[in-house]
Amino acid sequence: MKTNQIVNYQWALLLMATLTMLWGCSSDSDGDNDNGSKQNFTQTPVSQKPTWKIDWSSDVAAPDWQDPDPTKYECSMNLLYELDEETAPFSTDDDMMAVFMNGECRGVSYPNRMSDGVVAFLLHVKGSSEETADQMELRYYCAGLRHMTITYGVPPFIPNYLMDETYESDLNIGNGSQKYPLLTELSVLLPEKLPFTVYDDDMLAVFVGDECRGIGSYDPELFTGWRVNVYSAHEDEEAYVRYYSAQNDCIYTFPKTFLLNGMLQCEEITF
């Protein structure tokens, strides 16, 4: 079973359980709408699309990573990482990327800027044959944001002579963020009847206080419509949803909060 099939299956199980619960419940409310039910949101007219985005800026000092002594290890492994479209605009020439294994820095790289705008890091990871299959840790320092990511989901150490090609992957700044280390994969349920038509320019975002912590992606083929990767500093931060309708030129704020749990999560909003 492919990874995306597994993820979709997990979402389906979550949504089935959530809907079973929601069908037997009524929504909280503050005022009346046209259907005689209660409103649980506020409306703010706007003249243009909001510029919601996560603030990844931090205050981490530049690390002093050093390549290991090449004579100490007889094996190496090549890794090629490219910054994704969200992360690349923040990159500067002072960025650094490193791989750690067994508590030691085993390779350091600096940004390579391609003609098509891609920012890539080629790492030559050093190790011994006895360390084959040992777990590695990827660290990325974004100098433009003074932000650090530490990712443990990298492949194990496999010497080049056992591989047919260089390992390649993308890196997203939120994957292992030390500012917001907790990721909640949120699905937002919208009612079947809406006071507007969903346009391509519509936005759904999750906020903690006044801080945007996740921007949703809409897929009309999805059961729920919206999925959001929500980032938080710790468990149990209270979050809420805002929705921008391009047709109505309006932002709908749903003040009812929910706790971010760092797992698959589902919430419902009603109009």
pLDDT digits (tens, 9 = 90+) for 21-65: 333 333 333 445 544 445 689 999 999 999 999 999 999 999 999
Question: Is residue 251 in a domain?
Answer: yes
- The domain tally of the chain equals 2
- Mean confidence (pLDDT) of the chain: 87
Q: Are 248 and 196 contacting, i.e. CB atoms less than 8 angstroms apart?
A: yes
Question: Is residue 70 in a domain?
Answer: no
Q: Which residues pair with 89 in a beta bridge?
A: none
Q: How far apart are CA 61 and CA 271, in angstroms?
A: 45
pLDDT digits (tens, 9 = 90+) for 219-249: 777 766 899 999 999 998 999 999 999 999 9
Identify whether residues 35 and 13 lie together within a single domain.
yes
* Alpha carbon separation from 207 to 31, 166, 185, 230, 255 (Å, rounded): 23, 39, 14, 9, 10
Identify whether residues 83 and 167 lie together within a single domain.
yes
Count CB atoms within 10 A of the CB of residue 238: 13
pLDDT digits (tens, 9 = 90+) for 86-95: 999 999 999 9
Cα angle: 92, vertex 94, 95; to 5 degrees:
75
Question: Is residue 234 in a domain?
Answer: yes
Q: Provide the residue range defining the domain that includes 117.
A: 75-171
pLDDT of residue 38: 59
Q: How far apart are CA 151 and CA 138, in angstroms?
A: 5
For the entire predicted model, the pTM comes to 0.82
pLDDT of residue 164: 76
pLDDT of residue 153: 79
Q: How far apart are CA 140 and CA 177, in angstroms?
A: 9
Question: Is residue 198 in a domain?
Answer: yes
Q: What is the mean pLDDT of residues 182-205?
A: 94
